[in-house]
Structure 1
Amino acid sequence: MSPWRHWLLTLRYRLRRERSQIGRLSAIFVADHAGAPMRSCDQALALVDAGLAEDRYALGHGFWRLTDGCQVTLIHAEDLARAQRQSGLSLDAGQHRRNLVLSGLARTELRQRTIRIGEAVFDWHRVRPPCGYLDRVSGPGTAKALGRQSGHCLRVRTAGLIKVGDRVEVSAPARQG
């Protein structure tokens, strides 16, 4: 391959990677308080520096609220499908205890990214792996089935209404320097 062609292919690959990536919001789940069953919603209001309006963490009733709480949590639909396939567990009714289920973005890096869903804008905060509490609430083996990389914490940067089916846009990472 000529150096010119190699350079062109490399540039094309970099540009494709840096563009925003698009997915869909497949599901929204909230719970009134720690340990309460998750309930599915067609829409939710994201509140700046709080979370989803009807969720336990925005209400101050989450299990980890004092030590390790997240405003909003998400999981990829593809991770849920993998976990269900490998474990035989049913996770469709929110047993994963995550607020948002995103589809079409399974291999997208979320670290240091901004995520727009409907009217709301979120900043990636950190990875949120499942823990032993999940097994107590949703049943033994749930945390192991989901795996260490099956959750992310987000912070609400811009308030707004989000709806199941909304477009999810993950920005390119901010340039350093």
Structure 2
Amino acid sequence: MEGMVEEIYVTSEGSAPMRRVSEVETVAGCGIRGDRYCEGTGYWTSYGDVCEVTLISAEDLDHIEDEFGISVKNGEHRRNLVVRGLDLSSLRGRRFRVGEAVLEYDRPRPPCRHVQDLSEPGMTRALKGRGGICARVVEAGRIRAGDRIEPLG
């Protein structure tokens, strides 16, 4: 039940385009250094709906692109980590290691209208049931593209 980090995306402020990076540094209780929610500049920050780290399945993104013809491969999904080979729902109630960091499942991250406003019509519908998860940073460390994801305990 292992997966791997395929891609990493961050942005320093809410509504700004996500940019792909090869590695990030996590901060316990905050998220990803330099990312909008750790910096307090995310779109949802003022509503108190903050996810420290978001993960989405690469297999779900493949399905969305094939089924709906909607581009989700360049960060349009607005999630931090694109992971392959792991059913994200299997992490519910668990901690898991991603590279040097230990994360803990927080909750599902359903799509919102804001994602569609920043991308293209149909994005919210396409991501329904495939929006990924939120996780908290329990132990800080670096996460790199290609790192394994290992459930703990």
Count of aligned pairs:
152
Residue 109 of structure 2 is aligned to residue 106 of structure 1: no
Structure 1 consecutive aligned stretches of length 4 or more whose deviation exceeds 4 Å: none
RMSD (CA atoms): 1.2
- The TM-score, its normalising length taken from structure 2, stands at 0.95
Query: Is contact 1:78–1:106 with CA below 8 Å preserved after alignment?
Result: no
Please give the residue correspondences for 1:130-145 in structure 2 after superposition, counting only pairs within 5 Å.
Answer: 130-145=111-126
1:16 maps to: none
1:48 maps to: 28
Q: What SS does the aligned partner of 1:116 have? A: strand
Q: How far apart, in 1, do the equivalents of 2:18 and 2:88 lie?
A: 26
Give the drift of 1:148.
2.5
Gaps of 5+ in 2: none
Gaps of 5+ in 1: 1-20, 173-177
- The TM-score, its normalising length taken from structure 1, stands at 0.82
1:91-137 deviations in whole A, cap 9, x for unaligned?
11100000001100136512101121110000000011001111111
Please give the residue correspondences for 1:13-52 in structure 2 after superposition, counting only pairs within 5 Å.
Answer: 21-52=1-32
Please give the residue correspondences for 1:48-87 in structure 2 after superposition, counting only pairs within 5 Å.
Answer: 48-66=28-46, 67-87=48-68
What is the identity, as a one-letter code, of the residue corresponding to 1:114? R
What is the identity, as a one-letter code, of the residue corresponding to 1:31? T
Query: Residues 98 and 107 (structure 1 numbering): CA distance in 2 closer, same or farther, change over 3 Å?
Result: closer
Q: Which residue of 129, 146, 150 maps to 1:165?
A: 146
